[in-house]
Amino acid sequence: MKPLRVDRSKVVDYLLNPAKSHGKAAFFLRMGFQPERWEVLAQALKAQAVSGGVVAVIESLHGIRYSVDGELETPDSRSPGPRIRTVWIEELGSDEWRLITSHPA
């Protein structure tokens, strides 16, 4: 697996934004994630990608997309943590995976 990148804008403006995320924000906010501490969700998503299993690989003109299913560590310490899917892209010529989206699995 290559280095993982989670952009602040993907977390704050999309995953934790109720106006843009089609229910994803409600899910992540309910688990204790907060826009002010976006790095906590970013780190949890990276950890999920490392510990989870790749369930799909799709090649496109833009690069290779990887879907990973696994458990998410949450600020409210749920046990077991919720199962989510993260989707990453390794863009052509890139040396990293960049987060595209995440949602409950």
Model pLDDT for residues 61-85, shown as the tens digit of each residue: 999 999 999 999 999 999 999 999 9
Q: Give CATH for domain 4-104.
A: 3.10.450
Question: What pLDDT was estimated at residue 93?
Answer: 93
> How many other C-beta atoms are found inside a 10 Å radius of the C-beta of residue 95?
8
Question: Is-contact 72 81, C-beta < 8 A?
Answer: yes
Helix (H) or strand (E) holding 54: strand 53-59
Residue 102 token pair = 């995440």
Residue 27 token pair = 């899910």
Q: Is the pLDDT of residue 20 over 90?
A: no
Residue 72 token pair = 């998410």
What residues does each domain of the chain span?
A: 4-104
Per-position DSSP letters for 29-50, written without gaps between them: HHTT--GGGHHHHHHHHHHHHH
Q: Is the pLDDT of residue 21 over 80?
A: no
